[in-house]
Amino acid sequence: MKWDWSAVSDFMPHLWDGLLVTLQILALGSLVSFVLGLVWALLMRVPSRFVTWPVGAVTEFVRNTPLLVQLFFLFYVLPEWGVTASALTTGVLAIGLHYSTYTMQVYRAGIEAVPVGQWEAATALNLPVGRTWTAVILPQAIRRVVPALGNYVISMLKDTPLLMAITVLEMLGEARLFSQQNFQFTEPLTVIGVAFIVISYLASLALRALERRLAH
């Protein structure tokens, strides 16, 4: 086997195209998972089985079924019911929904880790419920769970290639298309492997910096 640097050079424009799509999926998917996960966590604290039971059932179902199955369902089944979206939008929603069931548990642990005294102090100050959550509980809870949330961002990054199954051309999709067209597989697949390692490493450095900043 001979390494062909010209193949690497030819693939680079495709890599940048795929990288932009990958980062877009990662950013939007993370946003969906963080926001929706917090919503799930707050709903699970509502003192009513009519709320907690459906939320628990939905999140357990989503967490215990493969992401690829959910992608296929959203992309191929929902259009039969009249619900359509682009492949990229479907992929973002699928990843965000899937990982929201994990971030929900992270938020739950963070909320439960807030000392009881903080709740009692908010009650003693006669703070409204909304103010108690936004000014006292959630700031402390989120600060505690940043490392775990960051780990899920890296996991989402590594799951973005699954979107190739619904025609989204992220990095692996671009590499596969280039390889099939040029019959060169080693170079593009190696390049995207290195790209994933670099992005994951940079993300971990950013996470550590954020942890240090929140610790002060």
HEC-encoded secondary structure of 3-15: CCHHHHHHHHHHH
Phi-psi region of 183 (alpha: psi -120 to 50; beta: other; left: phi over 0): left
In whole angstroms, what is the distance from residue 25 CA to residue 93 CA? 9
Q: How many CB atoms lie within 10 A of CB 25?
A: 23
pLDDT of residue 216: 65
- Mean pLDDT in the chain? 90
pLDDT of residue 134: 81
pLDDT of residue 138: 84
Tokens 């193949």, residue? 7
Q: What's the rounded mean pLDDT across residues 11-31?
A: 94
- pLDDT of 123 > 70? The answer is yes
| Pure H helices in the chain | 5-43, 49-63, 67-72, 87-113, 116-124, 129-131, 138-159, 171-182, 186-215
In whole angstroms, what is the distance from residue 97 CA to residue 90 CA? 10
Greater confidence (18 vs 207) lies with: 18
In whole angstroms, what is the distance from residue 204 CA to residue 215 CA? 16
